[in-house]
Chain A
Amino acid sequence: MNNKKLPFLLILIFGFTFIIFYKSLEDSSIYTPDTNLEKEIPVFNAKNFFSKENINSSNIFKLDKIYLLNIWSSWCVPCRQEHPLLMNLNLHNKVNIIGMNYKDDLKNANNFLKELGNPYNEIFLDLDGTIAIEWGAYGVPESFLIHNNKIIKKYIGPLNDKLIDEIKLLVK
């Protein structure tokens, strides 16, 4: 190999690698396995957020409808960022947003909803965090897209514009 050409060749190779890595940054979920795909949602009893009445999950989630279950809490900072997006998504009436209020103080939670609005069709309480475990949640916020009582997609962490667009697309 000609010694003068070698550096250029190397730079070319590394430049190519750079472009590949740069491209892969845009789609940064290459290794994410599709978790909980097509898994049946768990059955549980919980209290309604406003009326405090006991409700069964089968009364919340009906077949042939699409739901977005959102786990939230007033003390959770990312939930605050995510909330306006949920309000926005609520205008899109094909998807019913259900809230799971996770380990929260009811007064704070009420204030949170008064301040930022209530995008939820229904909210139930998970005071001790056990229902979240049944769902296999890692923490707050987290969202599950549900159709026919099956989890289609799971979103760990706060939703963003891109994910909201994805949800809208999936709902279509």
Chain B
Amino acid sequence: MIFSLVGYYSLILGLIIGISLFFLSFKNFNNSNILDKKLLSFTFLQLFFVVISFFCLISSFIVSDFSNETVFNNSHTTKPLFYKISGTWGNHEGSLLLWLLVLTLFIFLFLIRSKNQPVKYKILTLVFQQIIIVGFFLFLIQTSNPFNYIFPTPLEGLGLNPILQDPALAIHPPILYLGYVGSSIIFSSVLAATSLKIISTNWALHIKKWILISWIFLTLGILLGSIWAYYELGWGGFWFWDPVENVSLMPWLALTTLLHCILVLEKKAILTSWVIILSIATFTLSMSGTFLVRSGILNSVHTFANDPERGLFILIFLFILILLSILIFFFFHKEDNKKSYSFFWLSKETSILINNWFMMYFLSVVLIGTVYPIFLDVISSQKISVGPPFYHKLIIPFLIPFLIMMAIGPKLKWIKSQIIDKLYLISFLIISILLSFLILKNFSQNILINTILISSALYLFFITLRDFFIKKYNNISQNIAHFGFSLLILSILFNNLFSSEIITNLKVGESFENSKTKIVFESINQKKEKNYNAIIANFSVQNYLGEKDKLSPELRIYNQPVIATSEADIKTTLISDKFIVINLVQNQDYFNVRYQVKSFMVWIWLSVVLISFGGIISFLKKRS
């Protein structure tokens, strides 16, 4: 009871501070004293209240206070403590409170970390961020208050959705939010800088760290979600082009492009329009993602209780922000025509620009695939679903020039470079083509597009690998990230080419055998846990080399709410994952067994970790 009360009034206080910050900022636009003392302490106070509110919600979950509607709907006394806590953000209200926490945390950190920036710029950034913060305060208090009472107090809660009761998913939302919501600070800052016309190399240097930090967390957050989907949803894939995944990929693509643009801006003071538009796009894409999954237009695990009022609020708020950014962009930003810069065809900035256009193309493909069904349904009431083939057909061919450009681009100099002494670039290309041809020939998978695709990925792989051994080459962060990307594409390609699957129905004691694999269903056990009962099936799997593996997938029946889930058992090695999952068949005494050998799975995860590691190094690097 007391937690809900404190939490709710902290929110109200936070909102009041947000509104008073508007007045303070407009009154003292030029007074730097005010900024350092009053504004900073007010921002801190706002953060403090949101933290209090957040901890109150966590405490309500820990003590299972079912007089709180959010706790009642998403928790249960038999849940382990870990999932009681993670249940805090496993629902609409709690996760929005987390949004607010990240928003207030970032503006506070921004103010204390930007000591040397112009006062006006800092105040204006604060104002724009407060527009977002106040909007979300109103949204939270008005439509999704996490501290609603229920009377009489129920004795038991309804429980957390079992597929959300998972370690990877417990930390996925906070990590993802740091990137997803963290991009708000880039948005606010770019609007402030555009209005004051201070977009310059200095500004680029200052905002780069913020872009990097969002980018790192967004990358890791997507990775965690993907790992979770791999072993929890039991389909054995890592990316399904589900609309919900797409809405996290779109800000990532925009943010990655922005990161490359900012590198150019930092050196050359060009591509300013790109930077402004991409900064705006990143955050608006994050917001649209929230709108799409929270309003119930797209159904997924991220769709909590549907309420059209919520959807409408975010929708209107989103379009106010878009309108505001369009107005600021066209009103204040004038591209300097006198200093118009001509790109030499063979230079680093040209290659970045080319790949930016590729990224924009990928972004539009994903965007169209995600929202086109919605448009079509509204306009003509036709229902279509856009699946992986659409994305694969449209994206894969363009990955080839994209990868080659990624390999060559960093080798070029700024402004203008020569082709001479770039002979090794060509020799590496020939080696890659030969090698990929040999690989595919060996596995009798001779398809032209695969050969070209693998060659271009191998090309990037070799070029970046070579650079690790050249000492004078100092852009190590870029090299690691690009190396990670080549590894990612290679692992995905090999994963697609060499994975195999067996689907069969088995009773206890039966076995399945084909030329390569023998699966024996040995026995069945039962297990009782606090929050679920499980049936454990024991399999032994033998491959054609005679190696034997014991695999024990589970069927779990969770008690609150009662849902049956299949837990896959996965044996991971460097070369491949052995993945087995069982399903109950209605009114039958056999189980449906799915056994998959997924090649190079662990390398997909590792390469994404490498990519973000590149970002981390760049973030930590002191400016020389």
Q: Tell me the A residues contacting B by CB distance below 8 Å.
A: 6-7, 10-11, 14, 18, 20-32, 75-77, 129, 132-133, 137-140, 157
Contacts and interface: CB of A to CB of B under 8 A. Distances in A.
A21 B291 CA distance: 9
Given A22-B312, A30-B299, A30-B377, 15 more contacts: A7-B326, A10-B326, A14-B319, A20-B374, A20-B379, A26-B308, A28-B296, A28-B297, A31-B300, A31-B385, A77-B150, A77-B154, A137-B562, A138-B561, A139-B562
A138 B298 contact: no
B319 to A, nearest CB: 5
Given A14-B323, A22-B312, A25-B311, A77 B306 contact: no
A24 B69 CA distance: 28
Nearest to B383: A30
B373 interface: yes
Contacts, number: 83
Contact of A133 (B319, B322, B562): B562
Interface of B: 69, 72, 150, 154-156, 158-159, 243, 291, 295-300, 305-306, 308, 311-312, 315, 319, 322-323, 326-327, 330, 373-375, 377-379, 383, 385, 557, 559, 561-564
Contacts of B291: 21
A21 B297 contact: yes
B297 to A, nearest CB: 5
Contacts of A11: 323, 326
Contacts of A133: 557, 562, 564
Contacts of B69: 77
Nearest to A32: B299
B563 A30 contact: no
B156 A75 contact: yes
A76 B560 CA distance: 13
Contact of A24 (B243, B300, B319, B374): B374
A138 B162 CA distance: 11
B319 A18 contact: yes
A24 B296 CA distance: 10
Contacts of B559: 129
A24 B377 contact: yes
30 contacts: A6-B330, A7-B327, A10-B326, A11-B326, A14-B319, A14-B322, A18-B319, A20-B378, A21-B291, A21-B297, A22-B312, A24-B377, A24-B378, A25-B308, A25-B315, A27-B378, A30-B298, A30-B299, A30-B377, A31-B243, A31-B297, A31-B298, A31-B373, A32-B299, A75-B154, A77-B69, A133-B564, A138-B561, A139-B158, A139-B159
Nearest to B154: A75
B383 A129 contact: no
Given A20-B375, A24-B377, A28-B308, A7 B330 contact: yes
Contacts of A138: 561, 563
Nearest to B334: A3
Nearest to A31: B299
Nearest to A126: B562
B563 A21 contact: no
Nearest to A43: B587
B289 to A, nearest CB: 13
Given A18-B315, A26-B308, A77 B374 contact: no
A24 B158 contact: no
Question: Which of A11, A14, A28, A29 is the most central at the interface, judged by chain B CB atoms within 10 Å of its CB?
Answer: A28
Question: Which of B155, B315, B385 is the most central at the interface, judged by chain A CB atoms within 10 Å of its CB?
Answer: B315
A29 B330 contact: no
Contacts of A157: 305
A21 B377 contact: no
A24 B297 contact: yes
A157 B303 CA distance: 14
B311 A28 contact: yes
B145 to A, nearest CB: 16
A137 B617 CA distance: 49
Contact of B295 (A18, A28, A75): A28
B160 to A, nearest CB: 11
B297 A25 contact: yes
Given A22-B312, A139-B561, A30 B154 contact: no
Given A7-B330, A20-B374, A25 B298 contact: no
A26 B296 CA distance: 10
A112 B8 CA distance: 31
Contacts of A23: 378
A75 B76 CA distance: 13
B329 to A, nearest CB: 8
Contacts of B562: 129, 132-133, 137, 139
B330 to A, nearest CB: 4
Contact of B296 (A6, A29, A137, A139): A29
A139 B562 CA distance: 7
B155 A75 contact: yes
A21 B374 contact: yes
Contacts of B154: 75, 77
A9 to B, nearest CB: 10
Nearest to B560: A139
Contacts of A77: 69, 72, 150, 154
